[in-house]
Amino acid sequence: MNPQLQNKAPVAATIFPQAFWCHDLISTRDLGPQGVQAVLHLAEIMKSRPSVFQRTLAGKQLVMFFEKPSLRTRLTFEAGMASLGGTAFFVDQTHGRIDAREKLSDIAHNLERWVDAIVLRTFAQDTIEGMAEYASVPVINALSDLEHPCQALADYFTLGERFGDLTNVRLAYVGDGNNVAHSLLLTCACLGSSIRVATPAGFAPSAQIVADAQEIAEGTGAEIELMTDPCAAVTGVDAIYTDAWASMGQEHEADQRAKIFPPYQVNRKLMIKAAPNAVFMHCLPAHRGEEVTDEVMDSENSMIFEQAENRLHVQKAILYLLLGGAVRLPARSAHA
């Protein structure tokens, strides 16, 4: 083993002295139930008391390589790092894959000598896994074709703010069994929550991801159901979630998918089958009029912008824990 990798584990944050943590965030599976709980707990504290953490990552540097366009992911990582006192650098890789000019291992061994963490937004999950294998600094998955862990963590943080105890929350995801669906399944499993995923035949989530989520669920009591009927999936749930029918990199399939997915559109007719106070969720960007109607997107029950805001707080928590931030919170007043 590379001797640098042996020292890769960060110092545990003093507010989580016993918390389990991981070297990298490549998959929600890296966190496990304890890690997911730690992220959400810390994100809640950071959101309510940001000033306490202003200089906790002073002197730390983050580099972001993005093969895909981004609004929320890029800005929330940059703003989050700056608010913790660190610095973020952005490298636009939308013109070509990260390893097009040189071996990924060579890139990793350069980066580990310059920066404290690496954020990747890529097509291939293998790219992120390879960077984590070779780099001695933490690597964060900011989206791949397989998973989107930061998004799902922010989504469940948002649900927790609205409904409280996540073990009682029922979420329905309707649409394509894509990277977002994968990370929602894994995060739900870690939290002991409940999820139904409805997809057209042939568009179900990865069998391996489902198997991993079910294995985690055996220990947490989570409930996972896969189906093809969107109406059955949303009946009585607390939240309905959808995503684009064709993800980035699947644009050539858009016309074909547009013929298959209309029954999975989230519209008023589908929303009324959910619980009376059910909310709507979407990771954005949305294709209005396709996977969701304007009426639902702009309704009082839409939480899309709360989700977007909470990307910032969750990613700050991830950065803090991965980079060994340390702060002792002052005791709360009895009247606080």
Tell me, yes or no, whether 133 and 159 share the same domain: no
Q: Is 296 within 8 Å of 280 (Cβ atoms)?
A: yes
Tell me, yes or no, whether 159 and 50 share the same domain: no
**CATH number for the domain including 122?**
3.40.50.1370
Task: Report how far residue 110's alpha carbon sits from residue 131's, in angstroms, rounded to the nearest whole number.
Answer: 11
* Number of domains the chain contains: 2
Residue 298 is a catalytic residue: no
Residue 6 is a catalytic residue: no
DSSP state of 331: P
Tell me, yes or no, whether 35 and 56 share the same domain: yes
Residue 243 is a catalytic residue: yes
Catalytic residue among 148, 170, 196, 313: 148
Coil, helix or strand at residue 190:
helix
For the segment 201-240, what is each residue's pLDDT rounded down to a tens digit? 999 999 999 999 999 999 999 999 999 999 999 999 999 9
Q: How many CA atoms lie within 13 A of 241 on its CB side?
A: 28
Catalytic residue among 121, 170, 196, 313: 121
Tell me, yes or no, whether 115 and 176 share the same domain: no
Q: Is residue 94 part of a domain?
A: yes
Q: Is residue 211 part of a domain?
A: yes
Tell me, yes or no, whether 21 and 143 share the same domain: yes
Q: Please give the order of strands across the beta sheet that includes 61-66.
A: 87-92, 61-66, 117-121, 139-141
Q: Which of 171, 160, 154, 182 is nearest to 223 (CA)?
A: 171
Tell me, yes or no, whether 155 and 241 share the same domain: yes
Residue 268 is a catalytic residue: no
Mean pLDDT value of segment 110-132: 98
Q: Is residue 334 part of a domain?
A: no
Catalytic residue among 72, 212, 243, 282: 243
Tell me, yes or no, whether 62 and 46 share the same domain: yes
Q: Is residue 133 part of a domain?
A: yes
Tell me, yes or no, whether 33 and 88 share the same domain: yes
Tell me, yes or no, whether 217 and 137 share the same domain: no
Tell me, yes or no, whether 211 and 265 share the same domain: yes
Query: Which value, to the nearest 10 degrees, does the dihedral of the CA atoms of residues 53, 56, 58, 62 take?
Result: -90
Residue 113 is a catalytic residue: no
Tell me, yes or no, whether 155 and 301 share the same domain: yes
**pLDDT at position 241, please?**
98
Q: Which conformational region is residue 257 in: left (phi greater than 0), alpha (psi within -120 to 50 degrees), or beta?
A: alpha
Provide the whole-model pTM. 0.91
- CA angle (291 as vertex; 122, 277 as ends), nearest 5: 110
For the segment 130-180, what is each residue's pLDDT rounded down to a tens digit? 999 999 999 999 999 999 999 999 999 999 999 999 999 999 999 999 999
**Structural domain of residue 87, as residue ranges?**
3-147+311-322
Catalytic residue among 151, 265, 307, 315: 151
Q: How far is CA 116 from CA 74, 83, 323, in A?
A: 17, 16, 7
> Which distant-in-sequence residues (6+ apart) come within 8 Å of 307 by Cβ?
154, 155, 158, 281, 282, 283, 284
Catalytic residue among 283, 307, 313, 315: 283
Q: Is residue 333 part of a domain?
A: no
For the segment 177-194, what is each residue's pLDDT rounded down to a tens digit? 999 999 999 999 999 999
Q: Is residue 227 part of a domain?
A: yes
Tell me, yes or no, whether 218 and 304 share the same domain: yes
Q: Is residue 331 part of a domain?
A: no
Task: Report how far residue 172's alpha carbon sits from residue 226's, in angstroms, rounded to the nearest whole number.
Answer: 10
Q: Is residue 236 part of a domain?
A: yes
> At 243, which amino acid appears?
D
Residue 151 is a catalytic residue: yes
